[in-house]
Amino acid sequence: MKPIAFHSLDPAPTTTPADPTGTATEVSVRTLNTPAPAAAPTTTEPKPQPAPIVTTTATTNSAVAPPASERSTGPAPSSPNGPVEITCREERLDITTDWHIVGTAKLRKYVTSEQVERRVPVVRERVRVERMPVSEAERASLTEKEIAEAVEEVTLREERPVVRKYLTPIERVRLVVERYTAEEVIRDELRREHVEIHDNTAAAPATPVATPAAEAPRPAVLRPFA
């Protein structure tokens, strides 16, 4: 606020109008008295005294007003703007399963050979010489015969192993496809949106409460400096 100067011939107290912002105003009055000039000849009229200079300096307790570049020059909006909102989102997992071929299983039959040994009992024939005495009856008959050569033959036989191979089923092998359930751990990174509020506006001054004229405080009396 610019200083206000009052020019008055009467050093009476000067009142200052109430500050519309509701802040206290300190007013100082300084009266400068210039000494009177030397006595002039009687033919010359005395010069009038210069009017006292009253300087009023108003100091407000309110915050310093913002510079003109930061002041709003347009008219105040009739109503506040609508709310401003931001929708936050986040990522979530949607896990499904699908079928993949991991391989094939084959059932193949092959032949191997091994050496085996079995003990088999066999029967063989052989001759054994037995000598028996001749009885009296046989002796008389044999004495009458001529001596001659004779050959008796006996057939000897034996058993021999006969090996015959045959096939016999021992087991049945088959492939059966079955399903089982197992758990797998899925690890992934999810992103989420957040909101930060940055407010760089100064605190709004308190709105002054209107005071009736009858209860308005009286301004301080202007006192001249000595």
Residue 121 domain-assigned (yes or no): no
Residue 78 domain-assigned (yes or no): no
Residue 43 domain-assigned (yes or no): no
Local structure of 68: helix, strand or coil: helix
DSSP codes, 104-173: --------------------B--------PPPHHHHHHHHTSPP----------B---------------
pLDDT tens digits, 74-95: 666 667 788 889 999 999 999 9
Residue 4 domain-assigned (yes or no): yes
pLDDT tens digits, 112-121: 999 999 999 9
Q: What pairing do the DSSP bridges indicate for beta strands 53-56 and 25-26?
A: unpaired
pLDDT of residue 18: 47
Residue 223 domain-assigned (yes or no): yes
pLDDT of residue 8: 47
Residue 224 domain-assigned (yes or no): yes
Token pair 């009286």 in the structure block, residue: 218
Domains in the chain, number: 1
pLDDT of residue 206: 61
Nearest CA to 129 out of 154, 149, 147 is that of: 154
In terms of pTM, does the model score above 0.75? Answer: no
pLDDT of residue 207: 62
**How far apart are the C-alpha atoms of 54 and 14, rounded to whole Å?**
9
pLDDT of residue 123: 96
Structure tokens at 183: 């758990």
Residue 5 domain-assigned (yes or no): yes
pLDDT of residue 201: 85
Domain that holds residue 55: 1-9+26-36+49-61+217-226
pLDDT of residue 113: 95
Residue 156 domain-assigned (yes or no): no
Q: Give the chain's residues under pLDDT 50.
A: 1, 8-9, 11, 13-34, 40-41, 55-63
